[in-house]
Amino acid sequence: MLIQEIVCDMCWAFLLAPGGDPGFLTSDNPVALFDAPGLDVPGTGFLSSPDTYLTFPVCRNVCLRAKHRP
């Protein structure tokens, strides 16, 4: 399976920073990949566990979060 297919099949949500909040941090490498801590599941990246998710801050007030569908 191609990485594009995996990401496209994930469940995407917009996260909005509340008013008065400094917002999300953006950078030259904005995509962050998180995995479930403490699980000994073989593999890396998107396929390491069903709890893996990624975030992508689009701008200071909006961040996209993608996680595997249940």
User: 41 pLDDT band (50/70/90 cuts)?
Assistant: low
Q: How much is the average pLDDT of 22-35?
A: 89
pTM for this structure?
0.76
Alpha-carbon separation of residue 26 from 29, 35, 42 (angstroms): 8, 20, 30
Q: SS3 for 35-68, per residue?
A: CCCCCCCCCCHHHCCCCCEEEEECCCCEEEEEEC
Using one digit for the tens of pLDDT, what is the confidence trace for 7-16?
A: 889 999 999 9
CB 32 within 8 A of CB 54: yes
Q: What is the mean pLDDT of residues 4-25?
A: 92
**What is the spatial distance between Cα 38 and Cα 56, in angstroms, rounded to a whole number?**
24
> Residue 34 — pLDDT band, cuts 50, 70, 90?
confident
